Chain A
Amino acid sequence: MKEKKVKKDVIAYRKGCKAKGTGLSHYILMNRKVK
């Protein structure tokens, strides 16, 4: 029997990295490195 996932009382998390955003909505270069 599939185990029922216990819902947490609180969900709160955050991740950090060096900011590198350069995109605007006319173009997309998300996270795909082709080089």
Chain B
Amino acid sequence: MTGTKNNVINGTAAPSRGRFVNTGNGPTFQAIDIGHPEYVAMIEPDTAFWSLIQRESRTACLSEGGLLKSYAKKSKQFAKEMNSLRFGLKPSAVYFNPTEQCNMNCTYCYIPEKMRRHGEHMPEKKLFAALDILKRYFHKTLPKDSMPQIIFHGAEPLLNREAVFAGIKEYEDDFLFGVQTNATLLDDKAVEFLTSHHVSIGISLDAPAARIADRTRKNWDGQGIFNKVVAAMERLEGYEGWSVICTVTSANLRHLSKLVDFFHEKEVPTCLMNILRCTLPSSRSLKPGDAEAVRYFLAALDRTYELYEQTGRRLPVGNFANILLAIIAPAARRLMCDISPCGGGRCFFALDPNGGMFPCSEFIGLDHFQSGNLFTDDIPTVLQSEPFRLVTDRKVEDIEPCRHCAIRHFCGAPCPAEAYEMNGGMNKTGAFCEFYEEQVRYAFRVIADGKVDAYLWDGWDKGMKTTFNINKD
């Protein structure tokens, strides 16, 4: 199914016992300069195996000795793990848009303006019918101990608040619920309802001050909403299940470290600092260059570490934490954008207010990626339809230069919507590459310096088993 079998030691592709690195049936170890004074990385890309080796020892590690022998014992297991992660998962979440409308007109939104301005709500009766269909579907497909997730998403889901809250109340034993909102409608009553029903709440904020945040996130009259978001953050203080998404653009890039301070001060449990998606042309005017984005993003990560050292309290930046996890515990990643195929259409799918099904929210508004309707079509058939297969079949092995890239399973060449719309095809990269290269290098430096715990959440490895440790094997 994938190219992994040729790099599993003792494969049968050639009459070779796989005794040597980089020849015959031996594994391909690619050496990577991670920008660390003492260590370089050796990566076997197909199995996402990595090691950090003291610079002066790196040649010795390629010989028929310790590292190779230890890897040989585990290579099949690692290949199987990657194969299962990439091709063996079933959908367990739905990004559910209960309305087309939004009370905001953010510059970089991926939902077309016409839809957000004049769209319709899903009626309560229909929302219940949708949840009922999904409940029956997941009951058939997921193990009994697994709870599917419904994330009410937008546009702005709280514009259809009555229907959304009624759905949460009615189906709270059947799903884990989440809401991603611009926070303008997150008043006391809404916070009381959502927190008392244990709903995960995601809000959006791009900067620590109104004059910057309001540049890109504003209502239809051009007014910013910074103060409303900050008021909502204060209402959420003390609740464990909330997070903030910052979209990193050329408009706020220089302020990311200050934003880290602001989030930390507000006791934000987790945040995302997502680089802008360039799927729609309107967002591309805010696209920062990779090098500039890296500089400020990594400085923001440094700042989270400094604050942790000073206060003992972490601020995990979820998208970076996910890359760190992709390296040290591949199956533990939560976000499915930085793996190929991505999670769109295989770990989750998206639903528009008419019941239209899309591989991911990022495709809502791109009509040619709608395939089927929840109310009239069979879900498994839709998941196998051509628009879904375009996304679920997109692999780094088919993309240049990803097919040669040592970190292809730590980055995953996101995002298919962006690659297709901006760069002209599924076999293209997305809008950013160096940004991911540098994040992976940073992650390896974090590992080399023994600082992993500072960038993840409390108990991140609970329930995990150590499957390899060169210093204990």
- Interface residue ranges, A against B (CB under 8 Å): 5, 7-32, 34-35
Contacts and interface: CB of A to CB of B under 8 A. Distances in A.
8 closest pairs, A vs B, by CB?
Answer: A34-B241, A12-B51, A22-B93, A15-B329, A12-B470, A19-B331, A23-B335, A14-B468
B243 A9 contact: no
B151 interface: yes
Interface stretch (B224-232, B269-277, B370-378): B269-277
A21 B336 contact: yes
Contact of B202 (A8, A17, A19, A28): A28
A21 to B, nearest CB: 5
Nearest to B336: A21
B467 interface: yes
Interface string B333-354: 1111101001110011000000
Interface stretch (B116-124, B302-310, B403-411, B458-466): B458-466
A32 B347 contact: no
Contact of A15 (B67, B245, B316, B467): B467
Interface of B: 38-39, 49-54, 57, 61, 66-67, 70, 78, 81, 84-85, 89, 92-93, 95, 147, 149, 151, 153, 176, 178, 180, 198-200, 202, 239-241, 243, 245, 269-272, 274, 277, 316, 318-319, 321-322, 328-337, 339, 342-344, 347-348, 360-362, 414-415, 447-448, 450, 457, 459-461, 463-471
Contacts of B339: 21
Contact of A29 (B151, B319, B361, B468): B151
10 contacts: A9-B57, A10-B67, A11-B39, A16-B466, A17-B465, A19-B84, A22-B92, A24-B348, A30-B334, A32-B241
Nearest to B57: A9
A11 B343 contact: no
Most chain B Cβ neighbours within 10 Å, of A5, A11, A26, A35:
A26
A21 B347 contact: yes
A29 B199 CA distance: 10
A19 B70 CA distance: 24
A29 B178 contact: yes
Nearest to A34: B241
Nearest to B318: A28
Contacts of B337: 23-25
B198 A34 contact: yes
Given A8-B471, A32-B200, A27 B51 contact: no
Given A21-B333, A25-B335, A10 B54 contact: yes
B331 A24 contact: no
Contact of B319 (A15, A25, A34): A25
Nearest to A7: B38
Contacts of B92: 20, 22
A4 to B, nearest CB: 13
A21 B346 CA distance: 11
Given A26-B362, A27-B151, A35-B176, A19 B321 contact: no
Nearest to B151: A27
Given A25-B274, A27-B180, A28-B318, A18 B470 contact: no
A25 B70 CA distance: 36
A26 B319 CA distance: 11
A31 B460 contact: yes
A18 to B, nearest CB: 7
Contacts of A30: 243, 270, 316, 318, 321, 334, 457
Contact of A25 (B277, B333, B465, B467): B277
